[in-house]
Amino acid sequence: MACAIAVSSAATLTVVLLPAGPAAAAAPYRGANTAAVQDDFNGDGYRDLAVGAPGAANGVVDAAGAVVVLYGSATGVSASRRTVVTQATSGIPGTAEEWDQFGTAVASADLDRDGYADLLIGTPDESAGTMAGVGSLTVVWGGSAGLEGGASISPPTGLDEGCGFAAGLAVGDVTGDGAPDVSVTGNCGGTTYTGPFTRSGAPVRRSFVNALGTNRGVVMGDVDGDGRAERFWLPGPTDGDVSGPVHLEEDNGTYTELPLADGLSGQIGDINGDGYGDLVTGVPYDASLTSGSTPAHRGGEIQVLYGSAQGIRPDQKPKTINQDTAGVPGTGEDGDEFGMSLSVGDTNGDTYADVLVGAPGEAVGSARGAGRATLLRGSASGLTTSGSLSCTQNTSGVPGSAERDDRFGAATHLVDVTKDGRAESMVGTPGENADGLLWTARGSSTGPAAGGSTAIGGTEAGLKYRYSDIEFGAALPGARSTI
């Protein structure tokens, strides 16, 4: 059955590294950075999933952090086919230290164009010498045996304490040469890297973006159909706009504000099937959670800007959807955080991208902060609320039960790991007990199917906790607010 339909020093360290799962394909595709190559770490033809667990312990080192890679297959992902990566894993740079929170952000792309996806891991709480919270970015290389070996990607010079480098990551081909380019956010500005990358982690070029000040979110995707990704920066709340402005980076390096749009997180996908990417942003903070001008609708909202041959123009008014929009399950209530996370992908194989929206602050009955995930449908006329689906951990067929502060929907991701043309729905629930949880629902002709859905917990995925919660599922490649 489907979900209910409406009427994101030196100590003895333990390394956990399991086999890469299914046997790899003999000759992986070595061309442009297609969607399949972007997510396939072992070249077996199935897309894989990286799940961040920033609170995981490494031996006696609390909250050092970890990333679990779950390998795709015809039957989906499971805890039995995984690789666990930490800063104590052989070949991975750095040292697992207390409260590093390695795995706060994750992304993937074939950085060196060898036909295998590579894993990007952001650690914004990483210290540099005596300075806390400077941040670091790590790449782990894909290959026929799965992930093995890695390198540090150099941050811009002059980062200071609290800069939080690599709190957010995005990938896309800005130059149109088939090599992925990488954008990185942080409290002290953004950084862009032009691919391809060498095995030492060196890009063709690195640029520091500080014209907008703090850059807490970034989105990349082709919205004008020219085969090159546009880059949208989301600086975060400002004095005049607590919902956060949206800036388009122009080819000449200048920035154009989209004055009618807001967003703290975002993704791009073709929602109306016209061949142009559409920008979806999340605006989760309502007046109950923030002060200042332009808060979100009560409970939060998302906004949609449609691409065209002219791209997205500054005078375009976004389509806004919230939980009080007709056809959307639920009701907008203070602190729901609808739009805290979102992902874009085709869940039913109709060629229109759908949008999965997380509302981790949603109360379910008396359980405050239990969380909810809502799927909105793509169509020829754009994003529609017709046939919207909504799931909580109290939905029939969903494992577990809704409990206070589970935060189901804190991270969301749509990705086809079964290679059947329909994206699976992945929902992170980092507050589930001390473990955290990843919920997965198979794609079907009607969208995510709660019946037969599965849940994987942090300890089941091979992780350990000491004092802090593991927070497995806190980070997925889909967009989420880091603010």
- How far is it, in rounded angstroms, from Cα 371 to Cα 432? 11
Looking at per-residue pLDDT, the higher value among 216 and 111 belongs to: 111
- How far is it, in rounded angstroms, from Cα 144 to Cα 59? 29
- How far is it, in rounded angstroms, from Cα 69 to Cα 19? 11
For residue 199, pLDDT over 70 is answered with: yes
Alpha-carbon distances of 415 from 61, 195, 272, 400, 424, rounded to whole Å? 33, 24, 18, 23, 5
Set out the domains of the chain in order of their start, with CATH numbers: 49-457 (2.130.10.130)
Tokens describing residue 396: 């029939």
Q: What is the pTM of this model?
A: 0.93
Q: Are 116 and 42 in contact (CB under 8 A)?
A: yes
Q: What is the pLDDT of residue 482?
A: 73
Tell me what the mean pLDDT of segment 176-185 comes to: 92
Pairing of strands 301-305, 278-283: antiparallel
Tell me: the pLDDT tens digits for 11-66? 332 333 334 443 343 343 344 456 667 899 999 999 999 999 999 999 999 999 99
Q: Are 181 and 206 in contact (CB under 8 A)?
A: no
Q: What is the pLDDT of residue 28?
A: 39
For residue 364, pLDDT over 60 is answered with: yes
Position 99 confidence tier, pLDDT thresholds 50, 70, 90: very high
Q: Are 342 and 358 in contact (CB under 8 A)?
A: yes
Average pLDDT, the chain: 91
Tell me what the mean pLDDT of segment 428-447 comes to: 96
Let me know how long the chain is: 483
Query: What residue has token string 């130059």?
Result: 175
Position 4 confidence tier, pLDDT thresholds 50, 70, 90: low
Q: Which of 150, 151, 218 is nearest to 185 (CA)?
A: 218
- How far is it, in rounded angstroms, from Cα 454 to Cα 452? 6
Q: Which of 340, 212, 233, 215 is nearest to 279 (CA)?
A: 233
Percent of the chain with pLDDT over 90: 82
3-state secondary structure the chain: CECEECCCCCCCCCCCCCCCCCCCCCCCCCCCCCHHHHHCCCCCCCCCEEEEECCCEECCECCCEEEEEECCCCCCCCCCCEEEECCCCCCCCCCCCCCCCECCEEEEECCCCCCCCEEEEEECCCCECCECCCEEEEEECCCCCCCCCEEECCCCCCCCCCCCECCEEEEECCCCCCCCEEEEEECCCEEEEECCCCCCCCCCEEEEECCCCCECEEEEECCCCCCCCEEEEECCCECCECCCCCEEECCCCCEEECCCCCCCEEEEECCCCCCCCEEEEEECCECCCCCCCCCECCCEEEEEECCCCCCCCCCCCCEEEECCCCCCCCCCCCCCCECCEEEEECCCCCCCCEEEEEECCCCECCECCCEEEEEEECCCCCCEEEEEEEECCCCCCCCCCCCCCCCECCEEEEECCCCCCCCEEEEEECCCCCCEEEEEEECCCCCCEEEEEEEEECCCCCCECCCCCCCECCECCCEECCC
Q: What is the CA radius of gyration of the chain?
A: 20
Q: What is the pLDDT of residue 2?
A: 57
